[in-house]
Chain A
Amino acid sequence: MIIKPGTRKRGDDRDEAMAQSDELEALTKAFSGHGVDETTLIAVLGKSHPEKRKAFRKGNPQFFKEDERSFERWDDHRIKLLKREFSRFKNAVVLWAMHPWERDARLMKEALKDGPDSYNVLIEVACTRSSEELLGARRAYHSLFEHSIEEDVASHVHGPERRLLVALVSAYRYEGTKPKEDNAKAEAKTILNVIKSGEKKTDNEEVIRILTTRSKLLLKAVYKDYQEISGSNLDEDLKSDSRLQETVQCLCTPERYFSQVLDLALEIDADKSTKKALTRVIVTRADVDVKEIDEEFNKMYGVRLTKKIEDTANGNYKDFLLRLIAKGD
């Protein structure tokens, strides 16, 4: 049936307006969250008529601003965000393909460069890897950056956290079976006394000694004993010292720690560096304990990690992450 110009029915206009706003919604969703929905982008933008695209630009003031010279111009900030979201899949693949040593060395270097807001990544790498894995990362750091990691951390980090961070990246903890003399209770008491005294803990000599040199097996026992003698959890009591809190969480309750980091990363208004954690955690834990993290996440937040990723991530990036998590099945 040939529609002559000027003979459009009222219903058609409404359908068209609906279809247009559906597409707008789909496009906006394709760019929001983590990664981009490539299929939707191709489907909507690929086929759209110049008029439709103009309508899209005009109908999306947060993406396009009306320029004084009569055109709708990409918002600079939005372009940056888009570039970031498009790179998310690339970064995940590149990070995944890397040797774990190179991966950890590069993560630590980047964290140092990004500054104090990213120092939690240093703690995460230093505390959640095995002794040999951390050693490997230190070797790779030599090759990649021609300095030792401890030298760079020591010269870039200032203030009370320096001692803690240098000691954490330098640790080569004992990993064997529980030794006969185990003074976990005494160590727990020592820490409790420091906390009770109210003094600054971040560079307290004994707290640093215990957290940066003792084996993880012993520290888990210290965590338990602390709970028994004080009634509260050590990481809760260290809330005022975020570095120490992160250290204890990474060493004693890593699945819990990773679940919290992922939850923050998956929030709608998460900032740039918080969002990065999604790729980092999934890629670095896929071979280790991502299943346990998924279970812990479910316990803590009442929703499976995989479901949360399904809802907030897009396209190839989403598929890649879900594939990494499912890998073990």
Chain B
Amino acid sequence: MQWFYLRHTPERLERERVIVMASLVVPDHFSATEDAETLRKACQGWGTNEKLIIKVLGHRNAAQRKQIRQAYEQLYEEDLVKRLESELSGDFEKAVYRWILDPVDRDAVLANVALKKSNPDFPVIIEISCVHSPDELLEVRKAYKLRYKRSLEEDVAAHTTGDIRKLLVGLVSAYRFEGEEINARLANSEADVLHNAIKDKAFNHDEVIRILTTRSKAQLRATFNRYRDDQGTSITKNILVEHPDDFSVALRTTIRCFNDQQKYFEKVLRNAIKRAGTDEDDITRVIVTRAEKDLKEIKEGYYKRNSASLDQAVAKDTSGDYKAFLLALLGKEE
């Protein structure tokens, strides 16, 4: 009985809850050395045994992947990441490369890639800022400085202008208070501020940006709920109706990430799958970054809203090793 009680501490329950929502399937037995040897074998000789790589890496969590990299380095005096980069190609290589990095390092890379595009990919920056806890975001900023020798906000500022810059720099620089307490009076007054700003034809963004980039997440959700109660419609809908422009897209993305990130990611996947074309960046990003977090829940949401399984949709839209890898992360058993 004591064992049972100790098993269910709040921390453990939280950990188990997160594990339950993850889609990644990890075997019970793990040996970093064995895995390193397997991967070495997969890369030796002519060609590469991609299936073996997927079998190993597609079923290891972040801590295990880190140990595998270390074991590989010790055994073969070579960086596993670099080896894989040279052996693999295309979408499969991009996906494996992102997958094998440490999560915070990965986000730093994703942010940098997003900024360097000729049309910077703002949703990526917004996602990273909104979906993490304040301390996790801080770790991403540290990782970014380490890798690129510039601060994240420095690069975001350099690749944006105007109000988009104000919004994105504010989002990445925030170190929000993490309490669950909300001030109802403040939620009320700031819901009014948002309402007045949106209603106004000129739509001065400064107050909206101030609220979105500084308030705690709990306070923001309370404010959005209050807005919906007062106005009868969601704030994102009103922004869309009153001001259908590019900046508003960024605002709505931000609000949706705060309000319901699973629904947001499900929509990103749905749009990416619908889109004709070869750019799989969105699909890779969502699956790789959420596989250990809440991809299972995203799958369930996807099924509910589309009456089709996400696995099947991804399988139809992708091919080859890339497809096999994504399906592994989605939880497909061997």
- The 8 Å CB contact of A151, one of B152, B157, B177, is B177
Per the bound structure, the CA–CA distance linking A154 and B208 in Å amounts to 11
B103 within 8 A of A: no
**Which residues from chain B contact A151 at a C-beta distance below 8 Å?**
176-177, 214-216
B165 touches A205 (CB 8 A): yes
Which one of B152, B173, B213, B215 has the greatest number of beta carbons of chain A within 10 Å? B173
Choose from A139, A166, A205 the contact partner of B170 (Cβ within 8 Å). A166
Instruction: Provide the bound-state CA to CA distance between A177 and B173, in Å.
Output: 22
Which of A147, A155, A215 touches B154 (beta carbons < 8 Å)?
A: A215
Q: Does B174 contact A (CB under 8 A)?
A: yes
CB distance from B7 to the nearest CB of A (A): 31
Contacting residues, chain A, for B216 (C-beta < 8 A): 147-148, 151
Main secondary structure of the interface of B (DSSP, over half): helix
- CB contacts (< 8 Å) of B141 on chain A: these are 172
A167 vs B172: C-alpha distance when bound (angstroms): 11
> Which residues of A have CB within 8 Å of B173?
150, 167, 170-172
Q: How far is the CA of A214 from the CA of B150 in the complex (A)?
A: 8
B214 and A174 contact, CB distance less than 8 A:
no
Nearest residue, chain B, Cβ from A210: B157
Interface assignment of A120: CB less than 8 Å from any CB of chain B:
no
Q: Which of B152-183 contact A (CB under 8 A)?
A: 152-154, 157-158, 161-162, 165-166, 169-170, 173-179, 181
Within B123-175, the residues touching A (CB, 8 Å) are 138, 141, 145, 149-154, 157-158, 161-162, 165-166, 169-170, 173-175
Contacts known (A151-B216, A166-B170); A172 close to B165, Cβ less than 8 A: no
* Shortest distance between the CB of A158 and any CB in chain B (Å): 10
With A142-B178, A148-B175, A148-B176 known as contacts, the answer to whether A171 contacts B161 (CB < 8 A) is no
Query: What's the Cα separation between A151 and B177 when bound, in Å?
Result: 9
Residue-wise, chain B 287-326 has the 8 Å CB interface mask toward A (1 for contact) of 0000000000000000000000000000000000000000
A residues 153-170 in Cβ contact with B at 8 Å: 154-155, 162-163, 166-167, 170
Known: A150-B174, A150-B214, A151-B216. A173 touches B151 (CB 8 A): yes
Question: Does B154 contact A214, Cβ atoms closer than 8 Å?
Answer: yes
Contact: A176 with B149, CB < 8 Å?
Answer: yes
Any A CB within 8 A of the CB of B12 = no
Q: Which residues of A contact B178 (CB under 8 A)?
A: 142
In the bound complex, residues from chain B placing their C-beta under 8 Å from that of A177 are: 149
**Which 5 pairs across A and B sit closest by C-beta, in order of nearness?**
A170-B173, A151-B214, A213-B154, A179-B149, A209-B157
A57 interfacial by beta-carbon distance below 8 Å: no
* B210 interface hit (Cβ, 8 Å): yes
A15 within 8 A of B: no
Besides the known contacts A154-B213, A172-B151, A205-B165, 19 further A-B residue pairs in the complex with CB atoms under 8 A apart: A135-B175, A139-B175, A142-B175, A147-B177, A148-B175, A150-B175, A151-B176, A154-B210, A155-B210, A170-B153, A171-B153, A172-B138, A172-B153, A172-B173, A173-B151, A174-B150, A205-B161, A213-B157, A214-B154
Most buried by B among A139, A147, A162, A172: A172
Nearest CB of A to B196, in Å = 16
A174 to B166, CA, bound (A): 20
> When the two chains form their complex, are residues A174 and B177 in contact, meaning their CB atoms are under 8 A apart?
no
Name the A residues within 8 Å of B169 (CB-CB): 167, 209, 213
CB atoms of B138 and A166 under 8 A apart: no
- Cβ distance A86 to chain B, nearest Cβ, rounded Å: 36
What is the bound-complex CA distance between A150 and B209, given in angstroms?
Answer: 12
Compute how far the CA of A179 lies from the CA of B175 in the bound complex, rounded to whole angstroms. Answer: 26
* Docked complex Cα distance between A172 and B149 (Å): 12
1/0 per position for A30-66, CB-CB distance to B under 8 A?
0000000000000000000000000000000000000
Separation of A151 and B179 alpha carbons in the complex (Å): 14
Q: Is A213 touching B177 in the complex (CB atoms < 8 A)?
A: no
Q: A135-B138, A151-B215 are in contact. Are A215 and B174 (CB under 8 A)?
A: no
Indicate if the CB atoms of B151 and A146 lie closer than 8 Å.
Answer: no
User: A138 within 8 Å of B by Cβ?
Assistant: yes
- Bound-state CA distance A174–B152 (Å) is 9
In this complex, the member of A154, A173, A179 whose beta carbon has the largest number of chain B beta carbons within 10 angstroms is: A154
Complex contact A215–B150 (CB within 8 A): yes
CB within 8 A of B151: which of A139, A162, A215?
A: A215
- As a 0/1 sequence over residues 188 to 226 of chain A, the CB contacts with chain B under 8 angstroms (1 = contact) are 000000000000000001000100111100000000000
Cα distance A135–B150 in the bound complex, in angstroms:
17
CA distance A148 to B213 in the complex (A): 11
Inter-chain contacts of A155 with B (CB < 8 A)? 210, 214
Sample 29 A-B pairs with CB under 8 A, ordered by A number.
A138-B175, A142-B175, A142-B177, A148-B174, A148-B176, A148-B214, A148-B216, A150-B174, A151-B176, A151-B177, A154-B210, A154-B213, A154-B214, A163-B166, A166-B210, A166-B214, A170-B174, A172-B153, A173-B154, A174-B149, A174-B151, A174-B154, A175-B145, A209-B157, A209-B158, A209-B165, A213-B151, A213-B157, A215-B150
| Assembled-state Cα–Cα distance A139/B177 (Å) | 9
From residue B264, how far is it (CB to closest CB) to chain A in Å?
23
CB of B175 within 8 A of CB of A146, answer no
Instruction: Name which of A166, A173, A177 has the most chain B CB atoms within 10 A of its CB.
Output: A166
B157 and A148 within 8 A (CB): no
A147 to B216, CA, bound (A): 8
Q: Mark B192-234, 1 if CB is under 8 A from A, else 0.
A: 0000000000000000001001111000000000000000000
Which residue of B is nearest A152, CB measured?
B214
Closest to A148 in B: B177
Cβ of B138: which chain A residues have Cβ within 8 Å of it? Answer: 135, 172
